[in-house]
Amino acid sequence: MENKEIIVTGSPHVTSQRTTQRVMLEVILALIPAFACGVWIFGWRSLSIAAVTIIACVLTEYICSRFMLGRRDTIKDCTAILSGLLLAMTLPSSIPLPLAFIGGVFAIGVGKMAFGGTGQNIFNPALVGRVFLLISFPVEMTTWPLPLSPDGLTGATLLSAMKESGVDAASIDIYQIAIGKMGGSLGEVGAIALVAGWIYLTIRRIIRLIIPLSIIASVVILAIATSNNIAIELLSGGMLLGAFFMATDYVTSPMTTKGMIIYGVLIGIITFAIRHYGSYPEGISFAILIMNGCTPLINKLTRPRLFGERRGGK
């Protein structure tokens, strides 16, 4: 019996099988149906957009971590791939590929690596990339090709149509929206696929129910209070994509149940406010980014209760 073979470590000696890489791969898996919907609706060009953003993200992460931070790269975690895919899903299918590339570089370079890499970023990288593109290239970012129209007709998204042209909510067919027959970004259109992905993640216990539910609940309550159409509120725009996949990002969301509720409800309220009272037709990306910034504060305010400590202090 050689001592060399025996390894000494601290307890515990078993760990769960779940690694960051596996979790990220599962989230990517959960996104694939929704992305496939986008491909089906907007054509093969969607694939090349995703490829460009993913390559941009992974490349930026590699270069930044190896040559600027001087660390081991964290590509194996697959977080960059996920950010790239999420970014692609928030872009319109007609976006020029160089812009998509710039978005990817900005998302990882400024949104993530500038803060110190994986786990250190305050804002969701994919949303940073999207909002950067939206503000810098408003024309390209708000030109939405109409679904299933090979001749390249473009039009407005549902929300901007309602806001700017005064389209009546009652005239819209909810069923058409649910199956994705509306203008929008790559990932927004497949509502059913998004829900399927979300259910998968929830069953696998990768994300907790609280954040999506509190976002949706607050939007529903506000819609009822202001007598807006609930289905349109939920199914249009990036609401589902944002609530299920963006707001639940581990790094940028609070850790405690209480914190998650505050975070979710505020995202819902801000989204609703931007949609109805702001100048942009869609507000969930801004809402999530604003709340991302508040996350450290929420974490601080909603520390878990120490075992044996009475509620409300010692």
Partner 1 sequence: MEEQYLAMIVLGVVGLASALVLYLVAKKFNVKEDARIAEIEEILPGANCGACGRKGCHDFAVECCKSGSLDGLYCPGAGAEGMKQIASVLGLAAKDAQTKKAFVRCNGTKCNRLVGRNLDTIKSCISAKTLAMPAGYCTWGCLGGGDCVKACPFDAMTWDEDAQMPKITLEKCVGCGACAEACPQNLILIREIKTEIAPVVVTCSNREKGGIARKMCTVACIGCGKCARTCQHGAITVANNLATIDPEKCIGCGDCIEGCPTKAITAFGEIIKTKNITTV
Partner 2 sequence: MNIFKKTINFGNKGVHPAEMKLTSGKAIKDIPLPRRVEISLCQSLGKPAKAVVAVGDHVDRFALIGEAQGPVSTNVHTPISGIVKSIGKIETADGHGAEGIIIEASDADHASDLQSICDATPRVNDINKLSREDILNAIRNAGIVGMGGATFPTATKLAPPPSSPYCEYLLINGAECEPYLTCDDAIMREMSVEIITGIELMLRALGEDVKCIVGIEDNKPQAISQMTIAARNHSRISIVAMRTRYPQGGEKMLTKALVNREIASGQLPISQGVIIHNVSTALAVYYAVVWGVPLVERVMTISGTDFVASGNYRVPIGTSVKELIEQLGNVPETTIKIVNGGTMMGRAIGGLQGSTTKGMSGLLMLNTNETQIRETTPCVRCGKCVEVCPMGLEPYLIARLAELSRKEDLKAHHVLDCMECGCCSYSCMAGRRLVDWIKVGKAIARKN
Q: Tokens at residue 50, please?
A: 């995703």
Q: Per rule CB under 8 A, is residue 313 in the interface with partner 2?
A: no
Nearer to partner 2, 175 or 307 (CB): 307
Q: Per rule CB under 8 A, is residue 66 in the interface with partner 2?
A: no
Q: Is the Cβ–Cβ distance between 302 and 256 less than 8 Å? A: yes
Nearer to partner 1, 12 or 308 (CB): 12
66 binds, among partner 1, partner 2, none (CB under 5 to 8 A by kind): none
Q: Is the Cβ–Cβ distance between 189 and 182 less than 8 Å? A: yes
- Residue 48, amino acid: S
Q: Is the Cβ–Cβ distance between 111 and 79 less than 8 Å? A: no
Nearer to partner 1, 9 or 279 (CB): 9
Q: Which of 13, 150, 165, 227 binds partner 2 (CB under 8 A)?
A: 13
Shortest Cβ 295–partner 2 spacing (Å): 9
Q: What does the per-residue mask of binding to partner 1 show for 4-33, with x meaning CB under 8 A?
A: xxxxxxx-----------------------
Phi, psi of 206 (to 5 degrees): -85, -40
Compute how many residues bind partner 2; rule: CB under 8 A.
40
Q: Is the Cβ–Cβ distance between 89 and 187 less than 8 Å? A: yes
Nearer to partner 2, 120 or 136 (CB): 120
DSSP state of 17: S
For partner 2, which stretch binds (CB under 8 A), given 30-38, 115-123, 189-197, 220-228? Answer: 115-123
For partner 2, which stretch binds (CB under 8 A), given 17-25, 140-148, 190-198, 233-241? Answer: 17-25
Query: CA nearest 236: which of 186, 292, 291, 178?
Result: 178
Query: CA nearest 125: which of 257, 292, 275?
Result: 292
Question: What span, in angstroms and rounded, lies between the C-alpha atoms of 287 and 272?
Answer: 9
Q: Per rule CB under 8 A, is residue 203 in the interface with partner 2?
A: no
Shortest Cβ 26–partner 2 spacing (Å): 11
Shortest Cβ 300–partner 1 spacing (Å): 26
- Residue 21, amino acid: Q
Query: CA nearest 163: which of 272, 271, 269, 276?
Result: 276
Distances (CA, A) of 227 to 52, 64, 217, 220, 246: 42, 49, 15, 10, 27
Q: Which 3 state secondary structure label does DSSP give 145?
A: strand
Site for partner 2 in 74-103 (CB under 8 A): 74, 76-77, 79
Q: Per rule CB under 8 A, is residue 200 in the interface with partner 2?
A: no
Q: How far is CA 207 from its chain centroid? A: 13
Q: Per rule CB under 8 A, is residue 306 in the interface with partner 1?
A: no
20 binds, among partner 1, partner 2, none (CB under 5 to 8 A by kind): partner 2
Nearer to partner 1, 5 or 168 (CB): 5
Q: Per rule CB under 8 A, is residue 290 in the interface with partner 2?
A: no
Question: What span, in angstroms and rounded, lies between the C-alpha atoms of 41 and 92?
Answer: 12
Residues that bind partner 1 (CB under 8 A): 3-10
Residues that bind partner 2 (CB under 8 A): 1, 3, 5-16, 18-20, 22-23, 74, 76-77, 79, 117-120, 250-251, 253-256, 303-309
